[in-house]
Amino acid sequence: MWITMDVEEAQDMNFNIKWKKTPDIDYKEPIEWFIKHSKNKTATAFVLGSFAKKHPEIVKELSKHVEIASHGYFHKLVYTQNFKDWEYELLKSKEILEELTQKEVIGYRSPSWSMPFEKRYYEALAKGGFKYSSSYFPMKNYLYGNEINKKKPFIVSTKYGDIQERPIPKDIIPFSGGFYMRVLPLFLLKHFFKKHKDAVMYIHPYELIDKNLLRYFLKYAHINLDYFLAFFHLGSTRKKIKEIVNG
């Protein structure tokens, strides 16, 4: 299993959340929890450039324990962005992370799996010095995803070099992170993770706040459908991860 975290702030998410005010979350604690529970495992943190700018000490500490990769600079949906703007932000995030951690950044995950599956994006990644991407989500929903179900990592060859794409796994449905991991019961998750041994797990710092998030975020956001998509999990994430990682 490859444990990954998309390191971003709650207000960066692309769900249509109507914020009342910016959440004042202490990100240090959930990220320390992630470090502790990914010990001796293959783990990567895809860090948003803007997060690294705001919380440099947290990212520096994180880089001592897990691989640091890029999650872009702002959490914009790539398919809504001008290609050149996306490329500029990609390289900017790489530069910031490398300067901060003094380590080479070779991995990229697009915000909300929103990078179109097109050659020019892989070309730009290879040209920019990246070696792999984890931007491929195997089911289309209203926000992101691709229809083709690729089960294993595969290579996209470009004139600037090869990029390995490491897709998110799918069983009957995707299961290995975010909304899917929150809503699926633990017994089913355990079954899926056992069956898909190389599964990529993905989590977010705000999903690891040890509270009932449905209630916790009430002071920050108005209730609508996306509120439930974003925060429904009744504080189950830590327990689920512990059981899956150790089981």
Residues that bind Zn ion (CB under 5 A): 6, 8, 111
Q: What is the closest distance, in whole angstroms, from the C-beta atom of residue 77 to Zn ion in the complex?
A: 10
Of residues 160 and 220, the one with the C-beta less far from Zn ion: 220
Name which of 112, 122, 89, 107 is nearest 45 in CA terms. 107
DSSP string, 163-225: EEE-PPPBSSSB-SBHHHHHHS-HHHHHHHHHHSTT-EEEE-GGGGSSS-HHHHGGGTEE-SH
Of residues 40 and 130, the one with the C-beta less far from Zn ion: 130
Q: Identify which of 211, 230, 221 has the alpha carbon closest to the alpha carbon of residue 22.
A: 221
Q: Choose between 6 and 89: whose C-beta lies nearer to Zn ion.
A: 6
Q: Least Å distance between CB 8 and Zn ion?
A: 5
Beta carbon of residue 220, minimum distance to Zn ion (angstroms, whole number): 18
Q: Quick one: which H or E segment has residue 155?
A: strand 154-158
CA dihedral 225, 227, 228, 232 (to 10 degrees): 170
Tell me the closest approach of the beta carbon of residue 49 to Zn ion, in angstroms. Answer: 12
Quickly count: other Cβ atoms within 10 Å of residue 66's Cβ: 20
Choose between 80 and 246: whose C-beta lies nearer to Zn ion.
Answer: 80
Q: Which residue is nearest to Zn ion (CB)?
A: 6
Q: How far is the CB of 56 from Zn ion (least distance, A)?
A: 19
Query: Which residue lies nearer to Zn ion by CB, 15 or 160?
Result: 15
